[in-house]
Amino acid sequence: MAKSSFEAANFFNIVQKLYTFFASSTFRWAILLKYIDSYTLKPLSDTRWESRVDSLKALRFQIGPIYDALYSIYEDPEIDNMIRDEASGLLNNLKQFKFICSIVIWYKILSRINPISKLLQTVHFDISQAIDTLNNCKLFFENLRSDEAFESIILEATELASEVDVEANFEATTPRHRIRNKTRNVLYEGPDEPVQDLKQKYKIELFFHTVDQAINALKTRYNLLNTHSNYFSFLYNIFGLKDMRRNELLAYCKDLEVVLTKSSQWIGNDSYRTPN
């Protein structure tokens, strides 16, 4: 899902570059630690959803201090010019409102997906609980896919953007780097049709597209688990089979026969007689 579009791939590429920039040098990492006081930058992993949540947590809640750390490197004349240029490029990324919106959107999405991913990766999990969790998450994303939810995200992003003195404007900019204003003044964009077009484009191509991907993935997993549960759930309590009504048990066994006969010589009536 995180690779579902160019926008998403570009966003996570920048997130990884931020981590690599600081982590590849003990000197730069020490500068970062001087500014942040809680969450720190983490590397991305293609196989672990949790790593993506962790990598975004620092940006979602510490974007101002991260900006300050980058700026301190950028303005230091004793640091190599190539490193300062790299810091400048990352500062430009942080000061794009579209990038800040993506931080809010992806953190919201991945924070909901990660618990389900962890649950389904456990060796033993309650299928009924997993089905309920998947369904609740699917409902969350279906509600999230709305103009009202998008506007709420824009408000969150606008507040976050104020920490680095960025206007709520979807136009790409090349900002002049300066010490950020620690007083948070929320800046809202004025009416501007081209900007509205960019906002609409972002809503459809990234926000709605990503949420649709999440909904479809959750539906697929929900249907698979639900089908599995319909046919196999009665076997999870072997000792309780003797207490089950005969006609109910026979119905379960015949349903199971439908699933298994394609790959075996399973016979529903025989399976019914076994536990009795």
Tens-digit pLDDT profile for residues 208-252: 999 999 999 999 988 888 776 665 665 565 556 666 777 776 676
Between 261 and 92, residue with greater pLDDT: 92
Cα 108 to Cα 40, 99, 140, 207, 214, distances in angstroms: 18, 14, 11, 11, 12
Distances (CA, A) of 159 to 103, 108, 120, 189: 12, 15, 35, 13
Q: Please, are residues 246 and 41 in contact by the beta-carbon 8 Å criterion?
A: no
Residues 6+ apart with CB under 8 A from 163: 63, 64, 67, 180, 184
pLDDT higher than threshold 50 for residue 13: yes
CB–CB of 241/275 below 8 Å?
A: yes
Which band of pLDDT confidence, cut at 50, 70 and 90, is reported for residue 34? very high
Q: Read off the pTM.
A: 0.77
- Looking from the CA of 68 toward its CB, the CA atoms found within 13 Å total 15
Residue-level length of the chain: 276
Q: Could you read off the pLDDT of 58-93 as tens digits, one per residue?
A: 999 999 999 999 999 999 999 999 999 999 999 999
How high is the pLDDT of residue 247? 74
In this predicted structure, the answer to whether residue 105 has a pLDDT above a threshold of 70 is yes
What pLDDT, on the 0 to 100 scale, is given for residue 129?
81
